[in-house]
Structure 1
Amino acid sequence: MAGRFVAIGDSFTEGVGDNNVMYPNGVRGWADRAARQMGRHDPGWEYANLAIRSKVLDEVVAEQLDAALALQPTLVTFYAGGNDILSLRVDMDSVMQRYEAALARLAASGARVMVFTTFDMKVSSMLEPLRRRIRFFNNGVRELSRSYDAQLLDHTLLREYDDRRLWSPDRIHMSKVGHKRLAGHFLDALGIPHTLKLPELPAWEPRTWRQAIAEERVFVRSEVIPLVRRRMSGVREGDALTPKWPQPVHPSEGMKRLARRQAAELHSPA
């Protein structure tokens, strides 16, 4: 049965890592891919996506929660807290308390709610404090999903994501292949048939220990250090962006066609 799917959150849901200039904000992502499949299965489906990269939990709640509920969704996805985990200093107990308050409001709306864990990737021992935060967050999300009868897509259990090809170079955002696979898992969890082609990746050639060390050094220098500098400076790409799909659209009309129409309306004279 068709309904109205509304997605809220940060870069995970906006689609960062799945670059496509034909889509709003230059990214596609798992939610757009899933919505298109939902529209193909049943043209009655509507879709809105309010997620914006860089947003911390409090910003997602303040800027997106009321707007999402006002759209009266029958299905809402909620992922927030990842940027809090990446903060230089954070009280994770407080994060989970505020996460619970947001989830309680979504659950009370009567919509079907889906939440996600953060993928716990094997990383350098330098980032072990980050992994502890991730594990704390994931355990909290699992417990709260049970408490509020929310559907859980436990990303960490999808160990195919140990494959580096499912991630963009920053190792934070999924690649095109990663987003596409998550769209498939999302639709499978909902019981919605889809035609996504998810071919098996060829075997990954193992790295020598020298290659592994060299790659870790490049990663820290090119991704970790710039990330820390951006966090310290307060410069965030998401502050200059608006939601991709702020009002419900019918994905059955074609996402690229809808994106062209939305861009034309945005730039047309009043």
Structure 2
Amino acid sequence: MARKGATSAGTGPWQRYVALGDSFTAGLGDPEPLSPGGMRGWADRIAEEFGTARADFSYANLAVNGLVLQQIVDRQLGPAIAFKPDLVTLSAGGNDLVFHRRDPDRLAAALDDAVAALSATGATVVLFTGPDWGDTPVFGHIRGKVAVFNENIRTIAARHHGVIADLWTLRQLSDSRMWDPDRLHFSPLGHHTIAAMVLDALQVPHGLVPLHPKPLPAVNWRETRASDLAWAAHYLLPWVVRRIRPRDETVPPGPKRPVPGPVFGVPGQPAHP
């Protein structure tokens, strides 16, 4: 399906955005106490641009730290399709390559099926290539696998009329300021830079200035109070329960924005269909 262009800053043809992935999409490395889960990230920053421009825009972020590709597909694909989004971002496979040394071609086969299912809904699907860590002591040994996986991702995107958000060619990421101290996740500046790149790939005019991360938009006291209550219900209470019952580790962590809702409203509050 062909993409439609945007005509003014932060606007586009999309009304409902769902983000799928792991810690990269959850926003790890971009701490923000006022954001759900305490992290902001590139996906939130994109949604903020859309949400500022149109009141009917809704956003869900199903990403969970540490998931491998098959877990993302198994846990997030069905709910994402059920939400009937018209814009989807999917980043998966990084943990497989970095921590499990899995075969990039086999990963691509699983990713291809997931993208086919998403594309069949008519949604615009954005896929991410992996970054180029270069010849670094820790990640240099997987550079070849990342490159092979990236070529598979480009093929998948072309096959299913997807959009490529190309981290591999984003030269700004060679700047150490773009990275969290763990050298695996991105810093707030990195997430800001990636958000701008994704909006550029979608051909959406925006107000994200290079090297100047935009602060979280201000909210009124009612929205702040509602967000505090939602945060307590979704994050503080489960944390207290885990502290009281530390042996109960069978329930996996949940996404920070489990259903589509207003970007600046209550996390987890459903949007109108």
Gaps (5+ residues) in structure 1?
A: 202-236, 263-270
- SS state of the match for residue 75, structure 2? helix
Structure with more contact order per residue of length (Cα contacts < 8 Å, sep ≥ 6):
1
- Report what 1:245 is aligned to: 257
Amino acid at match of 1:189: A
TM-score by length of 2: 0.75
Are residues 1:63 and 2:75 paired? yes
Match of 2:46, SS?
helix
1:39 aligns with 2:47: no
Which among 66, 76, 83 is matched to residue 54 of structure 1? 66
8 A contact 1:7–1:50 mirrored in 2: yes
| Counterpart for residue 119 of structure 1 | 131
Q: Is the 8 A contact 1:41 1:192 kept in 2?
A: no
- Indicate the SS of the match to 1:44: coil
The number of residues matched between the two structures is: 221
Q: Are residues 1:177 and 2:185 paired?
A: no
> Contact conserved, 1:2 with 1:44, CA < 8 A, in 2?
no
Q: Which residue of 2 aligns with 1:233?
A: none
1:91 is the counterpart of 2:103? yes
Cα distance change on mapping 1:104 and 1:2 into 2, 3 Å: closer
Aligned to 1:234: none
2:89 to 70, 77, 86: 77
Contact 2:59 2:261 in 1 (8 A): yes
CA distance in 1 between partners of 2:172 and 2:111 (Å): 27
Q: CA deviation at 1:88?
A: 3.6
State the shift of 1:125 in Å: 4.8
CA–CA distance in structure 2, aligned partners of residues 18 and 242 of structure 1: 18
Q: In the TM superposition, what whole-angstrom CA distance separates every residue of 1:184-238 from its partner, at most 9, and x where no partner exists?
A: 122222233322343379xxxxxxxxxxxxxxxxxxxxxxxxxxxxxxxxxxx9x
Residue 266 of structure 2 corresponds to residue 258 of structure 1: yes
Change in CA separation of 1:49 and 1:200 when aligned onto 2, cut-off 3 Å: closer
Write out the 4+ residue segments of structure 1 that deviate beyond 4 Å after TM superposition. none
SS of alignment partner, residue 260 of structure 2: strand
Listed as ranges, the matches of 1:153-164 within 5 Å are 153-164=165-176
Report if aligned partners of 1:74, 1:112 keep a CA contact under 8 Å in 2. yes
Q: Secondary structure at the match of 1:86?
A: helix
- The percent of aligned pairs where both chains have the same amino acid is 39
Distance in 2 (CA, whole Å) between partners of 1:180 and 1:153 is 14
> Cα–Cα, structure 1 residues 88 and 189, in superposed 2: closer, same or farther, change >3 Å?
closer
The equivalent residue for 2:147 is 135
Contact persistence 2:104–2:146 (CA under 8 A): no
Give the distance between the partners of 2:40 and 2:73, measured in 1 at CA.
Answer: 23
Matched, 1:198 2:210: yes
**Distance in structure 1 (CA, Å) of the matches to 2:24 and 2:139:** 20
1:14 paired with 2:26, answer: yes
Aligned partner of 1:176: which letter? P
- 2:104 & 2:202 partners in 1: Cα distance? 30
Q: Would the aligned equivalents of 1:56 and 1:81 in 2 still touch at CA under 8 Å? A: yes
The alignment's C-alpha RMSD in Å is 2.1
Q: How does 1:202-221 map to 2 (within 5 A)?
A: none
Instruction: Give me the TM-score of the superposition, normalised by structure 1.
Output: 0.76
